[in-house]
Amino acid sequence: MSLPRQVSMFFGVGVISVVADYLTFYVLLNLLDIDEVPAALGGYAVGGLVNYLLNRSHTFDTERSHLEAGWRFMAVMAVGFTLTGLFMHVFVERLDLHPWLSRVMTTGLVFCWNFVAHRAWSFAAKG
């Protein structure tokens, strides 16, 4: 798949993942009254699961097994999880920005990391 098509597919999968992420964030933040940073991390985890399943089947043509691609995906997501917590903490706690604005900005920043790392490592060709 060409790079522009792959980026657009990754973006489309990302939209679906963000819906799962933000729905979880909303429920944790507003219905269960969980603080912003843990709520964002819960959303990131749910969105990450959706993201793996869809990207594996639709975005990245990989010859890696689920086991091999899965642990790589989890390693990349662990960095993204850490970045999500860090950015949310800075935006909400330090800069006193609105939780939803903080979540949107964090999503954009972590999206860039995730695409590059998944393309270059998680789902990259063996060899």
- Per-residue CA distances from 91 to 25, 27, 45, 86 (Å): 16, 20, 20, 9
CB 24 within 8 A of CB 46: yes
In angstroms, rounded to a whole number, what is the distance separating the alpha carbons of residues 64 and 123? 7
pLDDT of residue 127: 65
pLDDT tops 70 at residue 16: yes
pLDDT of residue 17: 93
- Structurally, the chain folds into a number of domains equal to 1
Question: What is the value of pTM for the model shown?
Answer: 0.80
Q: Is residue 33 part of a domain?
A: yes
pLDDT tens string 57-85: 787 766 777 788 788 888 999 999 999 99
Q: Residue 27: give the domain boundaries.
A: 3-122
